């Protein structure tokens, strides 16, 4: 697929209206995307687990109108603080969705996970919005193939927030030019997934629900001219090849090592940016130390990963879930903001509802 193939010249008939609804999941990267070129092109390829419980549900009621406009509400309440980000999204996608220029949209979204919990809600939110836009496009062009529908949804979601392009399909998605993978959209892992990963768990420890001190957008920018950038981008590409083979063979020892290395490298990039900054909190480090000690003591292949924030994702196989849940309840819950954590699992991707 090329940029041109995603350009739609469809126009809207004068009486065109309806409602579309999609839900899209959050995702957690195993090999991290950190640093981008113009137009949300990543500096290195990344791969993520798609989640099944944490998602955004979005509906759009659309109607023909002389010009484009939208209203946004969150869980039925007007939420003007999101307008700027949504307007930017529509500005970025308008060359590819000309039919929007003659529509008025009433958008309503709700997350199934706590709002402002530090869980990457922009990925699921942008993915759900992009899928709704594609559903409108499909009403104008019903013969569109499923492949095109989902690739373009991922392409549009990427223009809203890079990692959102990995929130359309599941259970494992690669984004970034490498072999047959693309910079333009996320692609489900092409090789087979070892059965141990099919029902893998991710418990998200909500360590800090406050606003991040440095946004992801600012963080990506600090990779421009970062002294370790080129080595990091090369390392991520190598790690992607390595993890693709681990995901096939089910080598959990190698999985644990690589996933934790990636998480700490992401934060090492932040700590060595100029200006340098820290998003981990004391409780983040405490949780990491406890996860590693529990692994050492029990030989259970539990590991952690991090997003661009203080929260900790605890990853483990289904066969160890009972013991790991007990460990989380007794040793990690007290480190969480108001004792809050979310048990999630690998998921299959977005759904119409
Ligand atoms: O999608 P953005 O621009 O919010 O960047 C997110 C980057 C990380 O979550 C830190 C890593 C990743 O690959 O998801």
Q: How far apart are CA 110 and CA 23, in angstroms?
A: 9
Ligand 1 centre distance from Cα of residue 33 (Å) = 6
Report how far ligand 1's centroid is from the alpha carbon of 64 (Å): 35
Ligand 1 interacting residues, C-beta cut-off 6 A:
29, 32-34, 46, 120, 122, 161-163, 216, 220, 266, 307-308
Radius of gyration of the chain, Cα coordinates, nearest whole angstrom? 20
Task: Give the single-character DSSP code of 334.
Answer: G
Using an 8 Å Cβ cutoff, are 51 and 168 in contact?
A: no
Judged by phi (left if over 0) then psi (alpha if -120 to 50, else beta), residue 119 lies in: beta
CA of 71 to the centre of ligand 1 (A): 27
Q: Model's pTM, two decimal places? A: 0.96
Ligand 1 atom at minimal distance to the Cα of residue 32: 13
Ligand 1 atom index nearest CA of 34: 7
Instruction: Let me know if 353 is exposed, middle or buried by CB neighbors in 10 A (0-12, 13-18, 19+).
Output: exposed
Strand partners, 31: 47
Q: Read out DSSP for 133-156? A: HHHHHHHH-TT--HHHHHHHHHHH
Residues of the chain below pLDDT 50: none
Listed residue (3, 7, 13, 21) closest to 140, CA to CA = 13
The string of DSSP codes covering 224-237 is TT-TTHHHHHHHHH
> Is the distance from CB of 153 to CB of 134 less than 8 angstroms?
yes
d(CA 29, ligand 1 centre) in Å: 8
Q: Is residue 9 exposed (0-12), middle (13-18) or buried (19+ Cβ within 10 Å)?
A: exposed
Mutation choice for ligand 1 from 29, 119, 157, 266, CB with most ligand atoms inside 8 A: 29
Q: Which atom of ligand 1 is nearest to the CA of 28?
A: 14
- Give the closest residue to 124 by CA, choosing from 22, 208, 195, 43: 22
Mean pLDDT of the chain: 95
Q: Which residue lies with its CA nearest to atom 10 of ligand 1?
A: 308
- Give residue 210's pLDDT: 76
DSSP H or E segment with residue 72: strand 69-74
The two structure tokens encoding residue 15 = 């009486």
β-strand pairing of 17-31 with 46-64: antiparallel
At 5 the pLDDT is: 84
- Which of 24, 26, 28, 34 to mutate to test ligand 1, by most ligand atoms within 8 A of the CB atom? 34
């Amino acid at each position: 697929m090329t940029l041109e193939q995603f350009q739609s010249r469809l126009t809207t008939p004068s009486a065109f209206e309806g409602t579309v609804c999609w839900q899209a999941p959050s995702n957690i990267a195993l090999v991290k995307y950190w640093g981008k070129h113009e137009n949300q092109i990543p500096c290195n390829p990344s791969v993520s687990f798609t989640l099944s419980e944490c998602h955004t549900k979005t509906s759009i009621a659309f109607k023909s109108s002389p010009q484009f406009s939208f209203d946004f509400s969150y869980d039925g309440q007007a939420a003007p603080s999101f307008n700027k980000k949504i307007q930017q999204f529509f500005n970025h996608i308008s060359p590819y969705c000309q039919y929007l220029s003659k529509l008025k949209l009433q958008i309503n979204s709700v997350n199934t996970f706590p709002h402002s919990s530090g869980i990457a809600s922009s990925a699921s939110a942008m993915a759900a919005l992009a899928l709704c836009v594609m559903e409108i496009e499909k009403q104008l062009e019903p013969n569109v193939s499923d492949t095109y529908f989902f690739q373009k949804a991922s392409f549009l979601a990427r223009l809203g927030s890079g990692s959102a392009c990995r929130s359309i399909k599941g259970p494992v998605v690669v984004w970034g030019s490498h072999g047959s993978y693309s910079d333009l959209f996320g692609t489900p892992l092409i090789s087979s997934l070892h059965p141990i990963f099919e029902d893998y768990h991710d418990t998200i420890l909500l360590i800090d629900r406050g606003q991040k001190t440095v946004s992801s957008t600012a963080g990506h920018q600090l990779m421009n001219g970062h002294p370790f950038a080129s080595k990091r981008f090369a390392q991520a590409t190598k790690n992607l090849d390595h993890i693709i083979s681990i995901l096939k063979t089910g080598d959990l020892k190698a999985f644990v090592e690589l996933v934790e290395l990636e998480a700490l490298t992401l934060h090492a990039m932040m700590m060595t940016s100029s200006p340098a900054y820290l998003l981990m909190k004391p409780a983040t480090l405490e949780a990491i130390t406890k996860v590693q000690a529990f692994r050492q003591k029990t030989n259970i292949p539990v590991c952690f990963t991090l997003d661009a924030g203080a929260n900790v994702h605890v990853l483990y196989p289904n066969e160890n879930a009972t013991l790991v849940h007990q460990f989380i309840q007794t040793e990690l819950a007290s480190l969480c903001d108001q004792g809050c954590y979310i048990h999630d699992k690998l998921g299959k991707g977005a759904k119409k509802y």
